[in-house]
A and B are shown apart, each in its own frame.
Chain A
Amino acid sequence: MNKTEPPGDKMVGQELLPIYDEVARCNKCGFCLSTCPVYTITGEERAAARGHNIHLQDLIEGRLEMSEELKAPLFECLLCRACVANCMSGVRTPENVIKGRSVYMQQLGEPRLLRFVARRLLPNPKRMDLCVRLAALGKKSRLDRAARALGVLKWFGRDRDKVVDLVERLPLRFFRERTNELGPDPDMANRQVAYFVGCATNYALPQVGVSTVRTLRAAGCNVKILDNLCCGLPVASYGDEKGAKELVLRNLDMMSRLDVDAIVTDCGSCSAFLKEYPLMFADDPGYADTAARTGAKIKALSEYLVEIGLPEFERRVEARVTYHDPCHMGRYQNLVDEPREIIRSIPGIEYRELPEADWCCGAAGTYNIAHYGQSMEILDRKMNNVKKTEADIIVTTCPACSIQLAYGVTRHGLDCEVLDLADLVDRALKPPFY
């Protein structure tokens, strides 16, 4: 399957010591079990926060050695933070898990694919564009189907043949190549905003980028489209601290030189991670200030719109709409009310609250690729809840969730569409005249 690099230093216990107190705070009450989307489908202790903390504690105390046996336990976690929200002691298990992943990689080596993506692709936009375009062409020419039929995809692991269907098609033109569609800044703009373009938006859902810029402009902002790199979240989630930091530094350098009121992004995952940038430099006297100042400017689209005032809605959207809380929006940034407020203020919409709205959809970044089967079971729970609302449109504020939910719609044969909040708002704005 994945080829790995040679292992590094063996002092596992030591490496994990910084999180010892945090993992020990888990007093094993077990309340996390019923809130963990993975535990509720596997019923296996290792999936839940309690199991993670025990594993980490055992590693630290030398009762367990880092080995391939820890792969499933450490990498099965969605990092959705449902456990944190329900933990009576507030143990920050996902952070513990990421630390565990980091040490895992250090001990047992990083999968080559991950290393390639982290070190060679993400920091190099041109190369990244090329790879994605090849994949897009592959999808368009149905090469993926051929590959599946030939069984080639199976070389990359179980379920990989199903995984290619997650995205119906990859657009051939990325968002950054469609900026000419965007037109000029508004005449009477009173704010300066930088638009941080997330990778998923750029490559998979460019329309969302277009809607985001239009929305911001309609709300009275001058929008500068940033030449940013990947925010670094996927790399950080896997525990590649070094790889993440590289991307983070380059982004921070670029963003710290901006003279803007806010740095806005439509991607819930990006905004969550960007807001954590300052934490990475909290102990760095030289950079802490800069990072903090820049970090304070990061805003999720819905957050910013509610702050500065919504644009004028000139068209009605007659639809039953429900909203799925991306984990990175609700649990990481506590942005639960803002998207709902925006949806409800669009004329014509009948809003229906989604049961278990904050239950993870199972995308979790690349979780649906790495753990297809489980991801689908988690998705099914979400889709069953969606069915209960009888909604025409499912709205969300993260492209990974959008892709996953769209897949869920197909999978369950539902008659509804999945829209990013930006796209929904765009439908209510004055139609573009250019």
Chain B
Amino acid sequence: MASSQELSDFLRDVERRAFKQTVYAVRDEHVALDIVQDAMLKLAEKYADKPAAEYPMLFQRILQNTMKDFWRRQKVRNLWTTLLSSFGAGQDGEEDHDPLDTIDVEDESSNPAVQLERSQTMKIIEKALEKLPARQREAFILRYWEDMDVAETAEMMGCSQGSVKTHCSRALHTMAALLEKQGLGSKVIATLVIES
């Protein structure tokens, strides 16, 4: 059984990554925050008796399932929104802007030009990632970002190892093509990695 300290360390380690991954999937920061917080709570409440070594797989599974629940609810909500859209017209873009939302932390680069360039590059990469079909994005994130092997990714996605390889291969080719189109070839990315 993991201690509260172990859980805290684990969550601190994964929360930012989990948040970004969720943002790429749901394309809404508020929703992504809700999903990540929900996943953290579920892990703590339902799997308190599990050892800390099992947390990474469990948390990823909970996160993926919470996202799927969100999409299911969203489907129903979209149906109602479409039906009732005429009543709610003109509500978009009226939210107050909070300066806290745009203040980034831990950006060690003080040069605004470098910051801008990095930010624009990341936007291109994020857009490319968002453009991937859901299953390909899931495979890409689990396999390369979460550094899981093919068997673990297959278990997480509930499909065969062959399917994981196919999803990954397609994701890699699509990403490479999208980035190349934006002038971000493999050499440019390699340079960025060295700089960061």
Tell me if chain B binds chain A. Answer: no
